[in-house]
Amino acid sequence: MLDWFRRGRQRGTPAELEGRTLGKYRMLRPLGRGGMARVYRAYHAQLDRYVAVKVLRPDLVGGDELNAESWRARFQREARAVAALRHPNVVRVFDFDVERGLSYIVMECLEGDSLKTRLNDYRVRGERMAMGEAVRILLDTLSGLAYAHSEGMIHRDLKPGNVLLTKRGDAVLSDFGIAQMVGDTRRPMPGALVGTVNYMAPEQGRDGRSDRRSDVYSVGVIFYEMLVQRLPFEADTPLAVVMKHVDDPLPLPRQIDPSIPEPFERIILKALAKDPDDRYQSAEEMAQAIRKAAEDVGVALPDRIPPPLSFTTPGAPSDSVAVFSGAERARIGDDGFATGQTATTLEKRSLLERLTAGEPLLTRSSAILLAMGLISFGNLAAFTVVGVTGLWTALSRGWPLEFFLVAAALSVVMHATGSAYLVIPLGVLLGNGFIFTYCTFTGNWRHWLFLWVFELWVIASAIVAARWLLRRSRRSHRLNRLIPLILAPMALGLSILVAYGSIAFSILDMARGWVR
């Protein structure tokens, strides 16, 4: 984030807007910031009112100058759709524009707190949110969501920080359309995601696909957190969290807290189904199920959401981060929401458990060092053997072992990163290794006249395999970790075979010379 602010100093970044004018708005003080934007309290002099101005990160939008015009048109199209939303449970958008390279959205300035802040306040007090309060918040959220879906808008980034609880006693959805506006404009690497992985539906994290059922899944995660006081899936890396949403079984709420009513657990189980077809097909359907469940268990619904426990954001709520220490931390009944799965916890798990969960056995830095070590040590060992034995002619046959050494090193990197795209260079390296080993050992280089056709098949097969891992397999992340564990020793073994074979052929050549 600091690098982003430094890179944008010459463009008037959000870090320098305090006290300045952006369009018709005098930027006052920052209210908060998140992964995609910074929010300011601002003043519109002509209308004499305060507003909240969300300034999107410059590196996420409009980064490609060649596509600047198309980006502006797309931003205005999406922002216009969001501004057309009129519902008491959706934050009003008043204005939007692009100025000095900064894209910003002007929203109504609400007083209150966010659901994220409310949940943290309850944790600090060692208390639980009342069932009636939780259901009221959820029904308001689903009401706004149903309206937006009827207008063709998908949120794509639902989380407690985007559910605002006003002093009037309403739950209001914010940041509608932000993920859509940013989602396809800049992807720094293949498979990059925009959103919050802890609340992301499996199909959204795996394939980047989302529809109204993906939003229903996110609401289910929010309901789970409200009742259980912790997230269903947590891990040490965002990718690991995504993969847990894709494949891991849901920790049952009533096993964690038996006091949770069974009808509410059934709602969570249905909303968090892995297959979108098994979930509630609309926000209205989920709201009806929640109302019926509340009636069945006798939960009284308040007309309004109770006032905030504390006003941490006097002007407008923000997705802030609370830090607890000393006596306040001692008051937290369950600090699992803060500790999560630490590295110490992961080290205690068996290798099989970590592989089953799709977690790497190596960090990226250690994988790169190991890969470099494999190539360096392999070459050093080969030259040492050749130098000691004097069989320099072995190098004329053994050089294809480099293909297998690099393939083994790349397999280690693929295991650590989990990137399916590395299957393409891996396939090309292994395919070429076999072809050139055949030509060097047999001396039939004339066969290259037809063997080059196999190059095309090797490349095509590698691309197909990568696409299958990316799009077809529901367990692709595990395969991305397991396949390299098979390919690495295989490629390393092939490089050793090529080395020994070239030495054996050199010895045979010398023996033939002696016989002659």
Report the pLDDT averaged over residues 400-422.
Answer: 83
Query: Are 47 and 137 part of one and the same domain?
Result: no
pLDDT at 179: 55
pLDDT at 511: 72
Query: Are 190 and 213 part of one and the same domain?
Result: yes
Query: Are 266 and 398 part of one and the same domain?
Result: no
Query: Are 327 and 440 part of one and the same domain?
Result: no
- The tokens for 321 are 């981060």
Query: Are 16 and 93 part of one and the same domain?
Result: yes
CA distance 464 to 497: 29
Confidence of residue 473 (pLDDT cuts 50, 70, 90): very low
- Evaluate whether residue 103 is within a structural domain: yes
pLDDT at 71: 57
Q: Determine whether 335 is an active site residue.
A: no
CA distance 154 to 513: 77
pLDDT > 70 fraction of the chain, expressed in percent and rounded:
75
CA distance 407 to 428: 9
Query: Are 128 and 271 part of one and the same domain?
Result: yes
Q: CA angle 509-510-516, nearest 5°?
A: 90
Buried b (16+ CB within 10 A) or exposed e, 57-81: bbebbbeeeeeeeebeebbbebbeb
3 state SS of 93 = strand
Query: Are 95 and 149 part of one and the same domain?
Result: no
Segments forming the whole domain that contains residue 50: 1-109
Of 109, 131, 146, which residue sits at a domain end? 109
Of 347, 378, 400, which residue sits at a domain end? 347
pLDDT at 311: 42
Q: What is the pTM of this model?
A: 0.57
| pLDDT > 70? residue 515 | no
CA distance 244 to 12: 40
DSSP 320-338: ------HHHHHT-S-THHH
Confidence of residue 225 (pLDDT cuts 50, 70, 90): very high
Of 79, 109, 139, which residue sits at a domain end? 109
- Evaluate whether residue 418 is within a structural domain: yes
Query: Are 26 and 151 part of one and the same domain?
Result: no
Q: Which of 192-201, 282-291, 352-361, 483-492 has the lowest mean pLDDT?
A: 352-361
Report the pLDDT averaged over residues 300-316.
Answer: 64
Q: In this structure, are residues 242 and 206 in contact, taking their beta carbons and an 8 Å threshold? A: yes
Query: Are 511 and 372 part of one and the same domain?
Result: yes
- Evaluate whether residue 159 is within a structural domain: yes
DSSP 370-411: HHHHHHHHHHHHHHHHHHHHT-TTHHHHHTTHHHHHHHHHHH
| Max avg pLDDT among 66-70, 166-170, 222-226, 391-395 | 222-226
pLDDT at 10: 36
Average pLDDT, the chain: 76
Domain count, the chain: 3
| pLDDT > 80? residue 346 | no
Query: Are 270 and 342 part of one and the same domain?
Result: yes
- Evaluate whether residue 352 is within a structural domain: no
Residue in 157, 170, 175, 215 annotated catalytic: 157
Query: Are 185 and 315 part of one and the same domain?
Result: yes
| pLDDT > 50? residue 140 | yes
- Evaluate whether residue 71 is within a structural domain: yes
Query: Are 118 and 101 part of one and the same domain?
Result: no
